[in-house]
């Protein structure tokens, strides 16, 4: 049994948090490869080390003094080192970092030091090998990720190490230039390592006990999702639910390795298992609810639209020409509606409308703004009759007007459009009928 374990910033924000992590790793000897993030916030008013590094580097880049800020970062690490009573110092490392900042080594280099230094401390604390991600995570010269070389380098280096710490978030080009993934990218490193070592499980430790059925800012004490498929997760993540970096799914999904989201502060909780497929019957008909506000519906009407070949293509072309991505496209016989992001659309609306006018000569085009989309996702919906009926009667009871309905043919999700102002109430109504009432 081989497990790859990734710990997020809040799990490593202080010496106390490090100790919890140490206990978790030592409790299971199959936890052989460890991916740390940089120290995160110790409380809500704190600053993540990654953000401190970006700010500090900005000063260096502008030729301003940055010693004070760099020392504050050093203090964060020293506090951890002393709290863990480790016999080590990062003085030499910080000398190198100072030189590199002065030489303007780049903001990616700067940000990567958060994980690098935390990895050094973690390796010392656990007595594991330290493997610099710069030697095993590879990027192409244009900055894009090089999956093939990375897989090869990781397998080669890790087969020579029984137990190792590999810092998350960054790698390098062949010439040594440091490159980072986007924010939250340590999740991706963990997934890549899990694939390369053919792990049985990728544990992703964070500060929540798994994926919640609904956003806790709307549903207090939301139920936790016990098991979710990659497909369901994609649907929910696309609609804004986030625990895991989106790109972290692909490497392990391809290799058939499950991900287990766990809580460092409540290690006895099972968390959420993310799997390729499962025969487990979900506890509720739905797996999760997620949504986003801020959409515009562009309604286009024309008599005999359905008989006009190429109508949809021409309409969609107007959005494409203006670089606007389309969210949903419900249609009637002589009407079609295109849902787009309001912010993205606002600047270009007149151009898009005049292009549509020119290309298809519609009878009317009308715009409705301030709409929200809500995705109700669940593999259980396929086998349950009456899901849509219950969903819409719950919304009707809550006096919510449904503007749009879209059910994918996979029956994995139902997307509904409502007014922004009804967003929270709609989610509450859906949660109540499927989770609280357990229907």
List residues binding ligand ASP (CB under 6 A).
Answer: 9, 37-38, 48, 50, 114, 168-169, 183-186
CB of 420 to ligand ASP, least distance (A): 29
Q: Which residue has the tokens 């940055």?
A: 66
Q: Which two tokens stand for residue 125?
A: 């604390």
How far is Cα 223 from Cα 226, in angstroms, rounded to an integer?
A: 9
CB of 79 to ligand ASP, least distance (A): 18
Of 43 and 221, nearer to ligand ASP (C-beta) is: 43
CB of 256 to ligand ASP, least distance (A): 24
Classify 277 as helix, strand or coil.
coil
> By beta-carbon distance, which residue lies closest to ligand ASP?
186
CB of 180 to ligand ASP, least distance (A): 8
Helices (H) and strands (E) in the chain, counts: 14, 17
Of 121 and 391, nearer to ligand ASP (C-beta) is: 121
Of 204 and 337, nearer to ligand ASP (C-beta) is: 204
Of 183 and 280, nearer to ligand ASP (C-beta) is: 183
Q: Which two tokens stand for residue 259?
A: 């991900």
CB of 372 to ligand ASP, least distance (A): 27
CB of 236 to ligand ASP, least distance (A): 20
Strands (E), 196-304: 201-206, 227-229, 259-263, 272-275, 288-301
CB of 185 to ligand ASP, least distance (A): 5
Classify 160 as helix, strand or coil.
coil
Contact 139, 176 (CB under 8 A): no
Of 180 and 209, nearer to ligand ASP (C-beta) is: 180
Task: Determine whether 26 is exposed, middle or buried from the number of CB atoms within 10 Å of its CB (0-12, 13-18, 19+).
Answer: exposed
Q: Give alpha helix (H) positions in 160-229.
A: 186-196
Report the DSSP pairing between strands 288-301 and 335-341: antiparallel
How far is Cα 158 from Cα 196, in angstroms, rounded to an integer?
A: 8
Task: Give Cα separations from 314 to 51, 311, 325, 362, 365 (angstroms).
Answer: 45, 5, 15, 11, 14
Task: Give Cα separations from 84 to 12, 18, 46, 219 (angstroms).
Answer: 12, 8, 21, 38
CB of 228 to ligand ASP, least distance (A): 21
CB of 45 to ligand ASP, least distance (A): 17
Task: Give Cα separations from 288 to 23, 47, 127, 136 (angstroms).
Answer: 32, 31, 40, 36
How far is Cα 216 from Cα 149, in angstroms, rounded to an integer?
A: 40
Residue partners of 198: CB distance under 8 A and separation at least 6: 2, 255, 257
Of 54 and 392, nearer to ligand ASP (C-beta) is: 54
Of 8 and 258, nearer to ligand ASP (C-beta) is: 8
Q: Which of 108, 190, 122, 182 is nearest to 150 (CA)?
A: 190
Of 120 and 390, nearer to ligand ASP (C-beta) is: 120
CB of 435 to ligand ASP, least distance (A): 30
Of 187 and 235, nearer to ligand ASP (C-beta) is: 187
Angle made by CA atoms 407, 412, 414, in degrees to the nearest 5: 35
Of 186 and 264, nearer to ligand ASP (C-beta) is: 186
Of 185 and 210, nearer to ligand ASP (C-beta) is: 185
CB of 8 to ligand ASP, least distance (A): 6
How far is Cα 242 from Cα 283, in angstroms, rounded to an integer?
A: 21
CB of 152 to ligand ASP, least distance (A): 23
Of 186 and 287, nearer to ligand ASP (C-beta) is: 186
Contact 4, 193 (CB under 8 A): yes
């Amino acid at each position: 049994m081989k497990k790859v374990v990734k710990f997020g910033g809040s799990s490593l924000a202080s010496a106390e948090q490090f100790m919890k992590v140490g206990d978790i790793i030592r409790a299971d000897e199959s936890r052989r490869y460890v991916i740390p993030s940089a120290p995160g916030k110790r409380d809500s008013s704190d600053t993540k080390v990654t953000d401190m590094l970006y700010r500090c580097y900005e000063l260096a880049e502008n030729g301003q003094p940055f010693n004070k800020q760099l020392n504050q970062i050093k203090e964060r690490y020293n506090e951890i080192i002393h709290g863990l009573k480790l016999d080590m110092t990062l003085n030499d490392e910080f000398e190198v970092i100072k030189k590199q900042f002065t030489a303007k080594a780049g903001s990616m280099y700067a940000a990567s030091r958060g994980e690098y230094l935390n990895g050094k401390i973690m390796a010392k604390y656990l007595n594991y090998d330290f493997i610099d991600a710069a030697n095993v995570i590879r990027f192409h010269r244009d900055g894009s990720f090089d999956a093939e070389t990375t897989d090869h380098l990781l397998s080669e280096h890790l087969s020579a190490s029984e137990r190792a710490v590999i810092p998350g978030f960054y790698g390098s080009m062949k010439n040594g230039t440091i490159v980072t993934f986007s924010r939250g990218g340590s999740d991706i490193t963990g997934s890549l390592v899990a694939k390369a070592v053919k792990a049985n499980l990728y544990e992703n430790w964070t500060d929540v006990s798994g994926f919640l059925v609904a956003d806790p800012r709307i549903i207090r004490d939301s139920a936790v999702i016990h098991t979710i498929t990659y497909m369901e997760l994609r649907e929910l993540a696309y609609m804004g639910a986030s625990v895991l970096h989106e790109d972290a799914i692909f490497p392990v999904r391809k290799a058939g390795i499950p991900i287990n989201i766990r809580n460092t502060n409540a290690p006895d909780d099972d968390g959420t298992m993310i799997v390729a497929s499962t025969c487990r019957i979900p506890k509720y008909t739905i797996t999760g609810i997620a949504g986003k506000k801020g959409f515009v519906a562009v309604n286009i009407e024309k008599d005999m639209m359905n008989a006009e070949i190429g109508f949809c293509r021409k309409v969609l072309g107007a959005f494409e020409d203006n670089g606007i991505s389309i969210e949903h496209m419900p249609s009637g016989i002589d009407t079609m509606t295109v849902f787009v992001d309001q912010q993205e659309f606002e600047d270009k609306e007149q151009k898009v409308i005049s292009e549509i006018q020119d290309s298809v000569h519609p009878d009317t085009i009308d715009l409705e703004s301030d709409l929200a989309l809500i995705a109700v996702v669940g593999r259980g919906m396929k086998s349950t009759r009456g899901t849509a009926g219950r969903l819409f009667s719950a919304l009707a009871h809550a006096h919510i007007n449904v503007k749009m309905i879209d059910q994918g043919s996979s029956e994995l999700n139902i997307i509904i459009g409502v007014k922004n102002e009804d967003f929270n109430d709609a989610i509450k109504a859906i949660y109540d009928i499927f989770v609280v009432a357990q229907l």
